[in-house]
Amino acid sequence: MSTWAARRFWKQTTTARTDGGFEVLLDGRRVRTPAKAALILPTQGMAAALAAEWEAQGEKIAPETMPFTRSANAAIDKVAPQRAEVIEMLAAYGDSDLLCYRADAPEELIARQAQQWDPALDWAETELGARLHPRTGVIHAPQDAQALQRLTEPLTAATNFEIAALHDLISLSGSLVLGLACARGWASPETIWDVSQLDESWQAEQWGADEEADAQTALKRAAFLHAAEFYRLSRA
């Protein structure tokens, strides 16, 4: 049985400045979100990225080939109506941040975690005034409330489009610190992703690669890099 798909109905894809930002026009008609809201974008760069996705569509529209459009829709239809709840959810990562839960053995893994994760914690202290402290083991131990508040402030100050990107940067890495560090250019998105995958890389070194797990990791990595680019476009 064939799956129904919307068909391309326009010939020309353009962008235009509008009240509150920029928009994509299909034969002069404004694109709207799935919830029928106006798809108003914060920057010309983001509008151009969405326009390129729409222009690349063939006879049938394939939403899976339009990641920037999906992220923009999420910013408007999902983040905006529940902004406070999304910020609260992302801020909670700080109290159980990936970077703070360290192995107790072997020594090589302990050293590798310190080498790759401590610089990110140092960055958060220097740039955000928030010092998180590592713990050994996986049992939760609360972080300093003032440090968590300072890590929450960049989320509160972010736009809905930035929050949509930060959602994936933080949730995919498992780290509020790494998500914010990626957004603020501490290191390349590729490097930060690798830092977030330290434990998985260690396990693969010890026990060998798992094709299914590697495939899932590749999808998550692509989503993380996309989120980093979406964040950049939301400001450029």
Q: Quickly list DSSP for 5-35.
A: -PBP--S-EEEEEETTEEEEEETTEEPB-TT
Q: Which amino acid would we find at residue 211? A: E
Kindly state whether residues 126 and 173 are assigned to the same domain.
yes
3 state DSSP class of 135: strand
Cα 150 to chain centroid, rounded: 20
- The percentage of the chain sitting over the pLDDT mark of 70, rounded to a whole number, equals 98
DSSP category for residue 4: P
Kindly state whether residues 6 and 111 are assigned to the same domain.
no
Closest C-alpha to 161, from 70, 76, 222, 103: 76
The string of pLDDT tens digits covering residues 69-102 is 999 999 999 999 999 999 999 999 999 999 999 9
Residue 70 located in a structural domain:
no
Find out whether the peptide bond into 63 is cis, omega within 30 degrees of 0: no
Mean pLDDT of 152-169: 98
Kindly state whether residues 59 and 125 are assigned to the same domain.
no
Q: Which amino acid would we find at residue 213? A: A
By the 8 A CB rule, do 157 and 100 touch? no
Residue 1 located in a structural domain:
yes
Contacts of 17-21 with CB under 8 Å at 24 or more apart are 17/44, 21/47
Closest C-alpha to 231, from 65, 43, 83: 43
Count structural domains, the chain. Answer: 2
The string of pLDDT tens digits covering residues 7-34 is 999 999 999 999 999 999 999 999 999 9
Kindly state whether residues 103 and 52 are assigned to the same domain.
no
The string of pLDDT tens digits covering residues 100-128 is 999 999 999 999 999 999 999 999 999 99
DSSP category for residue 142: P
pLDDT of res. 129: 98
Which secondary-structure segment (H or E) carries 201? helix 198-207
pLDDT of res. 4: 52
pLDDT for 225 beyond 80: yes
- The percentage of the chain sitting over the pLDDT mark of 90, rounded to a whole number, equals 95
By the 8 A CB rule, do 50 and 69 touch? yes
pLDDT of res. 209: 85
The string of pLDDT tens digits covering residues 125-145 is 999 999 999 999 989 999 999
- The structure's pTM equals 0.95
Mean pLDDT of 149-153: 98
Residue 73 located in a structural domain:
no
pLDDT of res. 236: 81
Distance CA 208, CA 210 (A): 7
Kindly state whether residues 108 and 222 are assigned to the same domain.
yes
Mean pLDDT of 156-177: 98
Kindly state whether residues 125 and 225 are assigned to the same domain.
yes
Mean pLDDT of 223-228: 98
pLDDT for 2 beyond 60: no
Mean pLDDT of 155-182: 98
pLDDT of res. 1: 41
pLDDT for 147 beyond 80: yes
Domain enclosing residue 40, as ranges? 1-65
pLDDT of res. 3: 53
